[in-house]
Structures are given as structure tokens and as C-alpha cells.
Structure 1
Amino acid sequence: MWRLKLSQGDNYEYDDPFLTSFNNNVGRQFWEFDPIPGTPEEQALVEKARADFTKTRHQIKQSSDLLMRIQLAKETYCGQPDLARVAKVENEEEITEETVVNTLKRALRFYSALQSEDGHWPGDYGGPLFFLPELIIGLYVMDMLETILPNEHKREICRYIYNHQNVDGGWGLHIEGSSSMFCTTLNYIGLRILGQEIDGGDGAMHKARSWILHHGGATYTPSWGKFWLSILGVYEWDGNNPLPPEIWLLPYFLPVHPGRMWCHTRMVYLPMSYLYGKRFVGPINDIVLSLREELYNQDYNHIDWNLARNQ
């Protein structure tokens, strides 16, 4: 069963030499899988929350941190008396002091239940749908996937990706976005790397692949997607527009120096330019060779990579 750990770090069960903090890890949030299951009541609540979200995922795309709320509510409400039921005031009905006080108490109790012990209100950083598959690809080409992501983590990642798949089979730039080639290609690849079959996910994988092929194939992925596909080995570096690392050698006083770019731009361009200069490609194995066949409408060896640069 998954547990949310808050503001815990070096002193929590083990010492992590790579984890440092200047504020004793205040505000840190991470989920940890506990092999010991919770009570039957807890398990039932979690399974109901999962089922309800999956059922309405195309109408309500934000999870509302339901699993976190279940956990925090148990920790906060344990042993406390129940409050009076919600008071509904009809039009022109007199509002009593008791009704106001009860409503305020319910509101305070609700927000207090969502507050962690150190004082902050934790919350999911949800939305973008391209970070997670990029992490999967990065771990995969470094042969670190099995080390960093145990089976339970893989299962939850697959659940998350499937839950945010659009009705048409694709994925948007964010959880409420319309399907795009960028995120559809990356998430399809991420699921395949995690062990999902071409026809897996009760037809979800087939729908995703059909969306990619019906929209021209993975050569229509934008530049950032082409970059990640090249690292994996399912797209050739010749199909990328140049990302020259030599530009970092320009004098800093020039306005075009990457160091003068917006922080997120330059921090992304730095590793991208290095990997482009190295023409880095991960190991070519069966899954990579299979993806080369799955993502395109033509034979991989006959693709015009120069033409694909600006598709």
C-alpha cells in the first residue's frame, strides 16, 4: 500500500549520501510503497477512489489528491467526534449563529486535515505529460530502470499514464490538453519500455499507436521529441535540426550566448547540445527494433531523415 512521506530525509530509516537539505527536508514529499497492506477499510477506500477516478477520468482529469486526502484524514480525524451534517440554507430562510459556527468549523477542520505536521499543505505537481516518459527513457538507456523503479512503481506509472490517455487514444501536453504527437509518442514509448504489449491496456496501446500512425507517424514529433527518440535509438540524429554545443564557446557578452537565455531554456539546451554533439544512442535491442517498426508508416531504413527534420 502506498504511503505519502512528508518532510523526511536523511534521518528516515537510512542515510542517503545524495540527499542534502538546508531546512531539515521541510516541505519534502514522496510516495513510498509499504508491502504491509493497510486495514480492509483502508484498502476498500483506496480501491474505490481508484475505480471512481478511472470511471470519470475523461470528465474530471485532476485526481484531487484523493489518496493523500484519505491518508491525512485518517491521521487527523482519528479519535475526533463527528461534526454536524452540512447545513443547507434555503432562500429567504433565516441564518442562525449555530449554522454559521458549524459551517466555519467544518471548513477549518477540512483545511486542517490537509495540512502536514510541519505546517505546509502538500499537493501533487500534476499536469505536464512529457516529464515522466522522458525519465523512463533516460533510466532505460543508462540501464538504471530496474534499479530506480521497482515493480510497484512501474505499475503505478502505467496506471497514471493510462488514466490520462484521451478518448481518441493520444495524450496531450498536459492532463487537460488535446492529443499531440509529442506526448502521444513519448507516453506510448514509455509504456512499451515498462513492459506493456502492443495490444495491452485493454486496447489502449492499440488506440495510441493508431493515433500516431493516422497522424503521419513519429517523424511529426516536434524537436524535443525527436531528441528523446534519437537517444533511445528509434529516430536518427540526422533527422534533428542542429543543436551545436560549440555555441557555448562564444563570448558571454554576445546576446546570443546560451547563458543569457531564460533559466529553463539554457538548462535544457546545455545537456541537449552535449548529447547532440556526442550523437549519443542507447543500446539497440529487441524493444528498440520493434519500436522502429511500430512508430512509422514506412520502413525505418527508407525514411528521408533530412526531410523529417522539419515535419
Structure 2
Amino acid sequence: MTLEQPLVESRLDAEAGLAAAVGHLRSLQHPSGYWKGDLVTNVTMDAEDLMLRHFLGIATARTDEETARWIRSQQAEDGSWATFHGGPGDLSTTVEAWVALRMAGDDARAEHLQRAARFVRGAGGVEQARVFTHMWLSLFGLWSWDDCPDLPPEIVFLPSWAPLNIYNWGCWARQTIVPLTIVSALRPVRPADIDTAELRTGARPARSSVTSLAGVFERLDAVLHAYTRRPVRWLREAAMRRATEWILARQEADGGWGGIQPPWVYSLIALHLMGYPLDHPAMRAGIEGLDGFTVHEQTPEGPVRWLEACQSPVWDTGLAVAALLDAGVPGDDPAVLAATDWLLDEQITAGGDWQVRRPDLPGGGWAFEFANDTYPDTDDTAEIVLALRRVRHPDQPRLDAALDRAVAWTTGMQSKDGGWGAFDADNTHTLAEKLPFCDFGAVIDPPSADVTAHVVEMLAAEGRAADEPCGRGVRWLLDGQEADGSWFGRWGANHVYGTGAVVPALVAAGVDPRTAAIRRAVRWLEEHQNADGGWGEDLRSYRDPARVGRGASTPSQTAWALLALLAAGEDSAAVETGVRHLLRTQREDGGWEELLYTGTGFPGDFYISYRLYRIVFPIWALGRYVARERGGGRP
């Protein structure tokens, strides 16, 4: 296809491609009504699952063999393991993979482990690995607990107004920190019959300057270590009991904690150390629940097993419903109604940790996972409201009441600065980021452009664009625009995601597409379109500004850019070539390939491949393009 072809031919092609994609998406719906794509991260999940099973004494030859086979299959030529497909080798990930393979029985003299050891030494050695890695090694006597930051369980007694109280951490960090305080206090060692000497260089990390806050905390850590050796016994025991009660109170129906791997595995370890046997209901449910996060696949080398860090059925289903509706599927289509009923059953009206900051706000949000009632999030909730408000449901009063509760809850979660974070309001205290423990991942949940945009777009669709909360959100977004015209993407890669979310939200809220902010965003997108017509952004853009907006084209990122351009009213070569890129790369079954990761867990540290993104977002974009070409606007 060439750009000179008439638009009507492009529209007809787009209609055919859209129909095929919708058919493919329909085929992926679960009989219960939801959609769920596998969520792929990196082999730290699998290495830590294997190490957990060895620590608890529940490892089997089969789980070791299948996990090790998967880990080996993900190794790069230089001996390393990366945190995302095609990414550079990561020191800590490689250390954990090496240790797990040794525990599974791989010989340290084997060529693949020799290559891994060379990479580790070249990257600074195990001494330079992150704190989480050192803690895992300490569990097996491969690192000293004295060289891990101390996490005193007494912090559970700090009131919510005090610095460094657990509610000043993001919910994912909070749920991880609490069980780790027990582990840190008890310092368990269950020796593994392996040696990590060949991973060491002998070079220790330099300490921060004593005049810096990080340096002060590093030296305070020495005081905490001294206290741990001689704690106030009654206070420490009371703190560990309180931490244990806190953990048990937040165990979800699926046996997990927060629906994510880190707090899940550390909570199991903490409870076990506190005397809970493996057959205790909480332990048994937690271990069995992890099996539900395990993916089994057949490969030419044999069966493999790998662990999802999280599962995203609520998010996937909300996006799928929106995509189908934008593709012109009727609001009372059986697939749409089945998904709606499933989502209505998943709404969370109970309280949660978010009430620490908003104690008088009634519940009404949705979480990301099958079971995470303690932590609904504004992002899921906004997208679900946007989708379900367009559904023609046989019990309309029930649907409307649910959505009204969701809108009220989401609005009430606005932070003081006008933006929205994902799980908490006003979770902006940065002091925790300076702690020696915090060398990996985001630990707080401040407002972000992508989440705020989704909420603003939802409020505008609800007819509340003129209301004060939406207006404050719009101002927050406009103030947060980057100098180059883009917006940062917290939960997706990266500026393409942020810009793809913000432009449609601003236009929906009444910002004229001709304003300077929108024109700058359009110009940025056009300048970053690839020669093949698509868009892509390498995940290394979170650390390397030269990669911002640059990378191989992917279906999901191309769709994000198109959604922004279409919302801005663009009828340009950029739109036409972007649509044609999607059509040209579409598979015969109506789907798309997307090996590169486009989801973000922690910017700069942890990334996600959502396997449903490659289908829902292209449908969304093609649906809006076809509707525009037909002259009808959004379906």
C-alpha cells in the first residue's frame, strides 16, 4: 500500500482488519465473561519461586527441572539475563538466575553458568547486586545479614502522620516491607550446598557522603543493626506479632497478598518464621495460590514452568470491552454483557488501606487482579467506568448504581495537587526513597500523567468536565507537560504511553485541539513516528533521555499514538501510515505479534509484557479511525 491510495481504500482495509481483530478478541474471552492475557516479566520471578520452595522445603525434582529449563531458555548470549525482552543484561537478575540454577542441580562448571559468572564479575560482582538479591542470598548463607539493610519491625507502631510510617510507602512496597521486617529481625539461614565465590570481585559499593540524606540513613543503619543484636525484647516481640496480624488481615481470597509476587513470597516466609506450619490454612492457601500464577508450556526442550508476577483480568476485561465498543460492537452484545456482569461482581465496596488517607470515603473501585480487595486502583476504575457507561444492560439501575459509586470513589481519591495516583491519595513523601533498602523500584505512589489522564477522561465522559476536580486534573496535566511536548508514562512505555493517554483526556475535557499544548504533543508524535509508519519506545528511555520516543514499532505503542492523533482531530499522513502499519503487520488470525515489552511496573527497574495489549489497543485505534472515516465519530 502507498500513501497515495485513496482514503476509502484505506478505510475498507481498516474495516476488514478491524473485523478480523474483533473476531480474534472474541475468541479469547473466558466462558465466565472475562479476558486475561498472560503477564510476562523476567526470570527473577522464577528464580525466587524456586528459592522459596527450597527455603520452605517443598521443592520437587519436577518443579526444579521445569523452572530451570525455563530460566536457561531466557539466557542471553553474553551469559546474562535481562529485565525485558531484548534488553541489556541485569546484574541482580543474573545473580538470582545463577543461584537458582545451581540449586536446581546445574553444575557450576557448565558453559552457561560460566558465561553467567563472567558477566556478573564484569558488572561488579554480587557485591553490587540490589538489596532484594542480597536478602535472598542471606536466606541460604550465601551473603551476610550484617551486610543487608536493617528493617526493624517496630515501624508498624509508627502512626500514619509520622515520617517513614508504612502508609507513606506505595501499597506494593508497604506489603513487601512489613513481612521483610520479620525476616530481617529473625535473620534465618538455611544453608544451601553451593558456593558463590566465583560471582564475587571483593569490591564493596562506596558509601554516600555523610552530608547527604542517603549517607545519614546509611550510618543510621549501623545503629539499627546494633539494636537488632540487643533489641528491647518485649517491644520487638510485640512488633513482630503486630506485623504478623497485619499480614494475615490482608491475605486475599486467592491466598495471596496484593495480587503480586513480592509481598506474596515474603509474607509466606515471614509467617513460616513466626511458627505457622506449612499445613496452616494461611500457608496452605498462599502456596496453593502461587500455583494459580504458574504458567506451564511445552517447548522442544521439554516442559517449562514460569511464574506471572501478577495477573490482570480486571484491567484486561475493561480494556477489551472498551475496544469492542469502539469497534462498533453493540452495547448489548452477549460478549459485552457477559464481561459487564463479571466486572460488576468484581467491584469492591469494602474498605482498604486507601482509607488511611481518605477515612470517610465509601468504597466503589476495582482492582487489577482476580483477588485484591484491599487495594482497588483509580486507573482500573476509571477505564471500567468509561467502558461500562456505554453498555446497554438489562438491569440498568444496577449498572448505573455501581458506576456512580465508582465515580464517587475515584473522585474522592484525588490528591491535594490535583492529580491522581494509582492506589492511594497523597502518597508523595519521598523520604523513604533515601533509605538503604530502597535501591530497586518505585516505593511511593504519587500522581502520574497516565492515571490522571484516564480519570480526567472518565469525568469528562460523565459530564463533569466543568466540575472542580476535573478542572484541577486538567491543570495538573497541562503543568506536567514535558518541554518537548510529550508526557511521561508511569505505567506504560513511556512518553508514547503518557502522551497517548493525556491528549484524548484533555480534548474530552474541553481543551481545544488547536491550543499550544495539544499542537506540541501532536508535533512530538509526528516527529517520533518510525519510517515503517509505527511508533515504539525502548524501555531504556526511563534512564536514557536519548531513547525517549525512540524504538522499534510495536502494535500497542502505535495504537497509543494513533489514539492521541485521532483525538486531536488529525487527518494527516502520520495517521494514514500508522493505520497502514497496523494493517500490514496484522496476523492472519486477526492478532499481532509483540515480543517487546510495553508495560511498566517500576520505571527503570521492572517491566511487563501484557499479552492482551497487542490486540485491544490496535482494535481501539482502528475502531476510532473507521468511525471517523465513516463520518460518525466514536461508535
TM-score normalised by length of structure 2: 0.30
Q: Which amino acid aligns with 2:152?
A: P
Greater RCO structure (CA 8 Å; 6+ sep): 2
Q: Identity of counterpart residues, as a percentage?
A: 22
Give 1:103 deviation, angstroms: 4.6
1:68-147 equivalences in 2 (<5 Å): 92=5, 95=9, 103=17, 105-146=19-60
SS state at 2:40 partner:
coil
Q: Which amino acid aligns with 2:75?
A: Q
* 2:105 aligned with 1:195: yes
Q: Which one of 166, 176, 181 corresponds to residue 273 of structure 1?
A: 181
Corresponding residue for residue 218 of structure 1:
126
Task: After superposing the two structures, state which structure 1 stretch, 155-164 or 257-266, moved more.
Answer: 155-164
User: CA–CA distance in 2 between the matches of 1:239 and 1:97?
Assistant: 62
Contact map agreement 2:124 2:201 (CA 8 A) in 1: yes
Structure 1: segments with no counterpart, 5+ residues: 1-87
- Structure 1 residues 90 and 138 mapped into 2: Cα distance closer, same or farther (>3 Å)? same
Q: Which one of 55, 64, 67 corresponds to residue 157 of structure 1?
A: 67
SS state at 1:145 partner:
coil
Q: Which one of 184, 191, 196 corresponds to residue 292 of structure 1?
A: 196
User: CA–CA distance in 1 between the matches of 2:14 and 2:165?
Assistant: 60
Contact map agreement 1:213 1:297 (CA 8 A) in 2: yes
Contact map agreement 1:181 1:221 (CA 8 A) in 2: yes
Contact map agreement 2:152 2:185 (CA 8 A) in 1: yes
User: CA–CA distance in 1 between the matches of 2:13 and 2:204?
Assistant: 71
User: CA–CA distance in 2 between the matches of 1:265 and 1:217?
Assistant: 26
Give 1:154 deviation, angstroms: 3.5
User: CA–CA distance in 1 between the matches of 2:52 and 2:4?
Assistant: 59
1:44-63 equivalences in 2 (<5 Å): none
User: CA–CA distance in 2 between the matches of 1:250 and 1:102?
Assistant: 60
- Structure 1 residues 184 and 285 mapped into 2: Cα distance closer, same or farther (>3 Å)? closer
User: CA–CA distance in 2 between the matches of 1:104 and 1:305?
Assistant: 54
User: CA–CA distance in 1 between the matches of 2:169 and 2:15?
Assistant: 53
User: CA–CA distance in 2 between the matches of 1:293 and 1:186?
Assistant: 14
Contact map agreement 1:173 1:182 (CA 8 A) in 2: no
Give 1:142 deviation, angstroms: 1.4
Q: Which one of 152, 157, 166 corresponds to residue 258 of structure 1?
A: 166
SS state at 2:41 partner:
coil
Corresponding residue for residue 177 of structure 1:
87
Corresponding residue for residue 65 of structure 1:
none
Contact map agreement 1:171 1:179 (CA 8 A) in 2: yes
Post-superposition CA distance 1:48-96 (Å, at most 9, x none): xxxxxxxxxxxxxxxxxxxxxxxxxxxxxxxxxxxxxxxx899648859
Post-superposition CA distance 1:133-161 (Å, at most 9, x none): 12221211111112xxx61x444422332
SS state at 2:105 partner:
coil
Q: Which amino acid aligns with 1:295?
A: L
Q: Which amino acid aligns with 1:162?
A: R
Contact map agreement 1:239 1:306 (CA 8 A) in 2: no
TM-score normalised by length of structure 1: 0.57
User: CA–CA distance in 2 between the matches of 1:154 and 1:113?
Assistant: 34
Q: Which amino acid aligns with 1:293?
A: A
Q: How many residues align?
A: 209
Contact map agreement 1:230 1:237 (CA 8 A) in 2: yes
- Structure 1 residues 125 and 104 mapped into 2: Cα distance closer, same or farther (>3 Å)? closer
Contact map agreement 2:128 2:204 (CA 8 A) in 1: no
User: CA–CA distance in 1 between the matches of 2:119 and 2:187?
Assistant: 29
- Structure 1 residues 126 and 98 mapped into 2: Cα distance closer, same or farther (>3 Å)? closer
User: CA–CA distance in 1 between the matches of 2:115 and 2:66?
Assistant: 20
User: CA–CA distance in 1 between the matches of 2:2 and 2:54?
Assistant: 57
Contact map agreement 1:245 1:274 (CA 8 A) in 2: yes
* 2:80 aligned with 1:207: no
CA RMSD of aligned residues (A): 3.4
Corresponding residue for residue 168 of structure 1:
78
Contact map agreement 1:227 1:240 (CA 8 A) in 2: yes
Structure 2: segments with no counterpart, 5+ residues: 208-217, 219-435, 440-635
Give 1:125 deviation, angstroms: 1.0
